[in-house]
Amino acid sequence: MSHAASHPSNLSQVEEIRMQVMWNRLISVVEEQAMTLLRTAFSTSVREAGDLSAGVYDPQGRMLAQAVTGTPGHVNTMAEAVRNFIAEIPREDMFPGDTYVTNDPWLGTGHLHDITMVTPSFKGNELVGFFACTAHVVDVGGRGFGADGKSVYEEGIQLPIMKFAERGQVNPTLLKLLRANIREPNQVIGDFYSLAACNDVGHRRLIDMLDEIGLPDLEALGDFILTRTHAAMMERIAALPKGSWSNEMLTDGYDDPILLAAKVTIEDTRVLVDFDGCAPVSRWGINCPLIYTKAYACYAIKCVVAPDIPNNSASLAAIDIASPVNIVNAQRPSPVSLRHVIGHMVPDVVLGALAQALPGQIQAEGAGALWNIHISARPAAGQEGRRAEVLMFNSGGGGARPSVDGLSATAFPSGVHTMPIEATEHTGPIVIWRKELRPGSGGDGQYRGGLGQVIEIAPMEGHEFEFSAMFDRVNTPPRGRDGGQDGAAGSVMLDDGTRLRPKGWQFVPAGRRLILKAPGGGGFGDPAARDAEAQAGDQRGGYLDEDA
Amino acid sequence: MTSTQITSTQMTSTQMTGQSIRLGADIGGTFTDVALDCRGQLFSTKVLTTYSAPEQAILDGIAVVIEQAGIAASEIELVIHGTTLATNALIERRGARTALVTTQGFRDVIEMRTESRFEQYDLNLKLPLPLIPREDRFVVAGRIGAQGQELQALDEAALEELADTLKAEGFGAVAIGFIHSYLNPAHEQRARDILAAKLDVPISISSEVSPQMREFERFNTVCANAYVRPQMETYLYRLQQRLKDMGAGCPLFMIHSGGGLISVETAAAFPVRLVESGPAGGAIFAADIAQRFGIQRVVSYDMGGTTAKICLIEDFQPQTARTFEVARSYRFCKGSGMPISIPVIEMIEIGAGGGSLAWVDAMGRIQTGPESAGSEPGPACYGRDGKRPAITDADLALGKLDPDNFAGGKIKLSKTAAEGAIAREVGDKLGLNAEAAAFGIVEVVDENMANAARVHAVENGKNISDNLMVAFGGAAPLHAARLCEKLGIEACLIPQGAGVGSAIGFLKAPFGYEALSSQITALSRFDAASINTLLDELKHTAESFVLQGASGAIEREVVAYMRYAGQGWEIPVPLPDRAFTADDAAMIKDSFRQRYAQFFGRPVEGPEIEFVTWSVKAQDQRPAPEAVTLDWRGQGGQVGALGNLRAVFDAAKGAPQDSQIVERNQLSAGQRLSGPAVIVEDETSTIVTTPFDAIMQADGSILLLRKGA
């Protein structure tokens, strides 16, 4: 394969190499930006779990590079979000030292818990670009992180696109409003500061870099990056089979099952995903703004078509998304707090369509949505103790791949980590008695689905808690592919056998334990074809027996 | 069995100041380096590492240097040893069959890792297998809570039974890791006692190996320790015996990952602390040079055959950290290895060495490493059937190396083979001629190293361009000047003895110990009396160790690791070494806020400030190395045209430049040589790029100085 043809011809060979090198540098600038966020953040969702993203944009708002650290639901939404900031804040109101903020689900990253900050980067008086970052904070007031809001107004405080800081001065009115409206003000306001700090670090590095190489702005480098990426994407899409393929998948929903449907069309120069046929908007907060649906649809396509091509505006531009108004294209003021529950299912729907275009090459379905749990703990009636908001991210099993077993208890499509339970137990009065693999939950196959996990959580003595359930695949287990069997469905119960609902706020009294069993991934291929050594390994490790 | 000697050198050097006879030995992946400081004279040798009996190479090396020095083995007063053996055992999974005994409900912590994928877009990603497979992980009831309180009693009866099982199955080592044991080790200690009563194998407990929060990292660390312990124990005691047998019955100390010294007994019990001890020696080597020249801020740059290591040294001390990752399984990708939580000299290591291979990715971008040509087949230019281009090939194609004088002329390099490989694998694919492709390869590897250095500096709240670079290791002098150009660094020192830098570094290692205690307390509840008591205990612990190997004055350093309540990561705040009073709370608060702003721009308003860990470091006070004044002016005369010119590609100019070729040993102190030029010696060549001059120093070091600086 020769790339010579796609080179912009006006660059000398030496110039060409300098541009390549600066592209790498730009990626390292945003990685530094993300590391700063991890090191300074307060919420465990950011500092332990990496639920964040960071990126750099040109003055038109085109994303040029993103940090490797981060999660697709943030990165690909933020790619669009910066344009919304540019539309809202006129150029003449942008000053060096400014930082802008929003948590608007439709302009940002899909729900109020994600705070997006954008910082203009000035070289002298010249606007050379923007830095943006997003992180999931532990509280935004309202009903808390859960599906029970009837509209976005109940889901927390809404911050329209506005200034967090102007010319270096933090907006004191905004801080006062936040303090009055959120449950863990120190943690959340601390996170606002770290988001701003991380953009500042990115900005300082960018200016150093431009000074060093003697470039006035990002224009030449940006054009180089986007032209190159576009050419590579076109080459990849050209190599794909052309046509349209459809897939449907049932998920649990809140009270009724929700059908998700996608038609993937591969044309000569683009991939189109159409979500016509998905269930209508839900009364519950599991709806997705289209910006978030698009983020995960693009992610799935890119994993298959161009995993090695850096993510930026040009790689995302080759993928188009369409949907009528429905659960994956919910309009304001629909409730969207748990948009990830549906959004994380989008890749399995899209991959199922691609499996028809590329038979034998696409993994089975997996747990999909993270098994997140938000706990509001408090002293039991008449007891002394502590109140706290505790957030945990947990993952079920991944779908088996065409040549290798599925990943056990590993996030996909999300890019977040779990929090160490030792860190989680410091944040509130709870005890996590168990967090380990769930044997027998992986779908059998030539390649076995990844195992889910079992988690047992109890209030600390003298305490009780409410928790927000946001669990899926309890009624609709991940399906196997090409003869592989389905993964095990999830379950939610108390240790006395009481069955609980997979969604909504529920109560765990003092003295009881909540038991969560996250689903396993689907298998791939005929179980009879499973390698003998792999079978022996399954037996030795006790990966197959539920109670081993 | 004897090992093969590669080179040996002797020099009288101001580097060595002592009146004693001390020996440093560094076992690396390819070479074992031995350096002897004989009353201020340095003798060194390099022999091939002997994997089946690693101590053999040391003994052979010792024989060489004592003969050169004309002394008997019995005259050696101290041996200091560092080794990659523990690292390699982890990477190659050649340890003992180890059982992990852990808290009920947490059997799979080391398998579930962080529940994330370190590479987002690779659908066929494989995660590294846990060091201890599931069938060898056993759980036992008993639970400590997040405040260190006992939530559930330890099931001692189950442990008795487990001991029988472990014995019957013939495990060679046991690791114990319980939840929250870093706060309260009672259950781990009790479990060890019960198992030890019936088992005859080494047992490691996580609260001793790595008393830090975050179960995945701590459990992994104790598993790694247990896993390499039987073989390291055997090796260390065998080495001790064989040294005695050859007459060198002097004390033997090990260098640890944090750059300090530990006894053989401690190393045998905590061998995980030997991981990366060789590179730690390199950092100490650079720190010593920094001190000799009185340079406050130094970045050390050590580039060998497979990797490059970069470390920040401030006020003559290498930066330290409390966690790192070993055995990265996916192209050196962060997160793809095994986390180890122990005190380490913090350095960034990337797959960029002379042997790193270059290739073109799907985007038509040149990439380098981490795959290495190693010593077999080696770079294409070695003419030993290497077909793919390595960094050394690109350096040769650009004229930076003389094909007829590599390794003192021992290896003839083929420029044709180098250019052929570069054209085949890179040039043809990109429509670049061989020279442009070679330039691309070298630029990419230099940029990778520059990026790593920059990110590393930022993580430490530093600006890389404020530093002077100290470059050593075979490949570093070829790339150092260009790296300085990229990083905005004005000056770089290339010391003598760079080839065995780590072994020399061992001889400089302070006899030191860091005692730590973690307890989270709010600054608002600062209690001077109890802090003073705690610090006194830590001082006692640290100093008792130091007294084993040193008799002179001891210097101490007190550091509080602090953060805002709610954060997960602390920053080190150096504090005065004296008894505190209640009034000191304000001073500590100011120090913290200043440090925080230095790292992250602005202090946060609102949250409470807290202490997480107190640290006291003690070490013997060395006589400061003989100060050498850095000659910045080079007024000993300009080196005139010697008529020996070669075209060397200059990156800043983007074209080949006629460069003077000068032998290092022909330069005298104070002489100045203007770039473009190449200073050649047996082991390597120093490239003086167009923007730089070279000034020969009195101690034989070369200073690269930016023109006009």
The CA-based angle B561-B567-B572, given to 5 degrees, is 20
Provide the pLDDT for residue B30. 64
Same domain as B126, residue B78 = no
Please give the Cα distance from A161 to A545 (Å, whole number). Answer: 52
Q: How far is A223 from chain B (nearest CA, A)?
A: 15
Whether A38 sits inside 8 A of B123 (CB atoms) is no
Between B227 and A201, whose confidence is greater? B227
**A397-411, B541-555, B580-594: which range is least confident on average?**
B541-555
Provide the pLDDT for residue B329. 66
Residues 349-378 of chain B with CB under 8 A from chain A are: 360-366
Residue A262 burial (CB < 10 Å; 0-12/13-18/19+)? buried
Secondary structure of residue B227 in the 3-state scheme: helix
Q: What's the pTM value of the predicted model, to 2 decimals?
A: 0.87
Same domain as B108, residue B75 = no
Predicted interface score ipTM higher than 0.90? yes
Q: How far is A237 from chain B (nearest CA, A)?
A: 14
Mean pLDDT in chain B?
Answer: 88
Provide the pLDDT for residue A424. 94
Nearest Cα to Cα of residue B24 among B42, B40, B6: B42
Q: Is the pLDDT of residue B681 over 50?
A: yes
Provide the pLDDT for residue B461. 55
Same domain as B208, residue B118 = yes
Residue B566: which of A7, A187, A303 has the nearest Cβ?
Answer: A187
B604 in a structural domain: yes
B411 in a structural domain: yes
For residue B110, the chain A residue with the least C-alpha distance is A436
B615 in a structural domain: yes
CB B282 within 8 A of CB B506: no
Same domain as B533, residue B435 = no
B interface test, pick of A421, A432, A460, A545 with most B CB neighbours within 10 Å: A421
Q: Which of B620, B636, B666 is the last residue of a domain?
A: B620
Which residues on chain B are in Cβ contact (under 8 Å) with A14?
A: 436, 439, 654
Whether A437 sits inside 8 A of B123 (CB atoms) is no
Q: Which of B579, B605, B620 is the last residue of a domain?
A: B620
Same domain as B126, residue B80 = no
pLDDT classification of B374: cutoffs 50, 70, 90: low
B interface test, pick of A39, A441, A524 with most B CB neighbours within 10 Å: A39
Whether A308 sits inside 8 A of B606 (CB atoms) is no
B310 in a structural domain: no
Nearest Cα to Cα of residue B650 among B482, B403, B488, B401: B482
**Does A68 lie at the interface with B, CB-CB under 8 angstroms?**
yes
Provide the pLDDT for residue A6. 40
Q: What is the DSSP letter of A5?
A: G
Residues 382-441 of chain A with CB under 8 A from chain B are: 393-395, 401, 403-404, 407-412, 415-418, 420-423, 425-426, 431-437
Secondary structure of residue B400 in the 3-state scheme: coil
Same domain as B101, residue B86 = no
Which residues on chain A are in Cβ contact (under 8 Å) with B97?
A: none
User: Residue A419: which H helix or E strand, with range?
Assistant: none
B312 in a structural domain: no
**Does B521 lie at the interface with A, CB-CB under 8 angstroms?**
no
**Contacts across the A-B interface (CB distance below 8 Å):** 232
Provide the pLDDT for residue B327. 72
Same domain as B138, residue B24 = no
Provide the pLDDT for residue B471. 95
Query: In A214-345, where does DSSP find H-type helix?
Result: 219-238, 290-305, 313-317, 339-343
Residue A412: which of B117, B454, B654 has the nearest Cβ?
Answer: B117
Which residues on chain B are in Cβ contact (under 8 Å) with A180?
A: none
**Does A151 lie at the interface with B, CB-CB under 8 angstroms?**
no
Q: What is the pLDDT of residues B92-133, one digit of tens each?
A: 788 999 999 999 999 999 999 999 998 889 999 999 999 999
Q: Is the pLDDT of residue B410 over 60?
A: yes
Same domain as B143, residue B104 = yes
Please give the Cα distance from B513 to B603 (Å, whole number). Answer: 32
How many structural domains comprise chain B?
4
Between B456 and A384, whose confidence is greater? A384
Residues above pLDDT 70, as percent of chain A: 97
Please give the Cα distance from B9 to B11 (Å, whole number). Answer: 7
Please give the Cα distance from A339 to A289 (Å, whole number). Answer: 8
Which residues on chain A are in Cβ contact (under 8 Å) with B444?
A: 17, 20-21, 24
Provide the pLDDT for residue B407. 65
> Residues B270-297: what's their mean pLDDT?
91
Residues 420-449 of chain B with CB under 8 A from chain A are: 429-433, 436, 439-440, 443-444, 447-448
Which tokens hold the place of B16? 């060595």
Which residues on chain B are in Cβ contact (under 8 Å) with A197?
A: 600-602
Distance of CA A344 to the CA centre of its chain: 8
Nearest Cα to Cα of residue B358 among B424, B435, B454, B415: B424
Residue A282 burial (CB < 10 Å; 0-12/13-18/19+)? buried
Provide the pLDDT for residue A472. 96
Which residues on chain B are in Cβ contact (under 8 Å) with A28?
A: 451, 454-455
Between A13 and A491, whose confidence is greater? A491
B318 in a structural domain: no
CB A347 within 8 A of CB A368: yes
**Does B566 lie at the interface with A, CB-CB under 8 angstroms?**
yes
pLDDT classification of B10: cutoffs 50, 70, 90: low
Residues 14-33 of chain B with CB under 8 A from chain A are: none
Q: What is the pLDDT of residues A522-531, one digit of tens each?
A: 999 999 999 9
Between A356 and B10, whose confidence is greater? A356
pLDDT classification of B2: cutoffs 50, 70, 90: very low
> Residues B573-582: what's their mean pLDDT?
95
Q: What is the pLDDT of residues B417-444, one digit of tens each?
A: 999 999 999 999 999 998 999 999 999 9
Provide the pLDDT for residue A8. 43
Provide the pLDDT for residue A232. 94
What CATH number is given to the structural domain containing B147?
A: 3.40.1360
Count the neighbouring beta carbons within 10 Å of the beta carbon of residue B463. 14
Please give the Cα distance from B395 to B407 (Å, whole number). Answer: 15
Q: Which of B401, B423, B444 is the last residue of a domain?
A: B444
Residues above pLDDT 90, as percent of chain B: 55
**Does A176 lie at the interface with B, CB-CB under 8 angstroms?**
no
Q: How far is A46 from chain B (nearest CA, A)?
A: 10
Q: What is the DSSP letter of B413?
A: -
pLDDT classification of A323: cutoffs 50, 70, 90: very high
3-class DSSP string for B378-415 = CCHHHCCCCCCCEHHHHHHHCCCCCCCCEHHHCECCCH
Same domain as B28, residue B76 = yes
Q: What is the pLDDT of residues A452-470, one digit of tens each?
A: 999 999 999 999 999 999 9
Q: Is the pLDDT of residue A547 over 80?
A: no
Query: Who contacts B536 (Cβ-Cβ below 8 Å, separation ≥6)?
Result: none
What CATH number is given to the structural domain containing B32?
A: 3.30.420.40
Nearest Cα to Cα of residue A445 among A364, A365, A361, A530: A530
**A289-298, B185-194, B494-503: which range is least confident on average?**
B494-503
B472 in a structural domain: no
pLDDT classification of B3: cutoffs 50, 70, 90: very low
Residue B600: which of A40, A411, A543 has the nearest Cβ?
Answer: A40
Q: Is the pLDDT of residue B446 over 90?
A: yes
Residue B399 burial (CB < 10 Å; 0-12/13-18/19+)? buried
B568 in a structural domain: yes
Question: What is the DSSP track for B108-146?
Answer: THHHHTTSS-SSTT-TT--PPPPSS-GGGEEEE--EE-T
Residue B458: which of A32, A190, A303 has the nearest Cβ?
Answer: A32
User: Residue B217: which H helix or E strand, with range?
Assistant: helix B215-245
**Does B129 lie at the interface with A, CB-CB under 8 angstroms?**
no
Whether A307 sits inside 8 A of B459 (CB atoms) is no
Tell me which range, A141-145, A151-155, A424-428, B368-372, is most confidently predicted by mean pLDDT. Answer: A151-155
Same domain as B54, residue B116 = no
How many helical (H) and strand (E) elements, i.e. helices and strands, does chain A have? Answer: 12, 19
Q: What is the pLDDT of residues B484-542, one digit of tens each?
A: 999 889 999 999 877 778 888 888 887 777 787 777 889 999 999 999 999 999 999 88
Same domain as B520, residue B425 = no
Looking up tokens 């899909």 gives A110
Whether A423 sits inside 8 A of B213 (CB atoms) is yes
Beta strands in B363-488 (DSSP E): 366-372, 468-472
User: Residue B168: which H helix or E strand, with range?
Assistant: helix B156-169
Same domain as B74, residue B56 = yes
**Does B490 lie at the interface with A, CB-CB under 8 angstroms?**
no
Residue A407: which of B127, B151, B443 has the nearest Cβ?
Answer: B127
Q: How far apart are the first and last CA of chain A?
A: 51
Between B396 and B607, whose confidence is greater? B396
Domain around B147: 95-225
A interface test, pick of B109, B115, B425 with most A CB neighbours within 10 Å: B115
Please give the Cα distance from A58 to B218 (Å, whole number). Answer: 42
In order of their start, the domains of chain A are: 4-229 (3.30.450), 363-548 (no CATH)
Residues 638-667 of chain B with CB under 8 A from chain A are: 654
A interface test, pick of B108, B178, B441, B596 with most A CB neighbours within 10 Å: B108
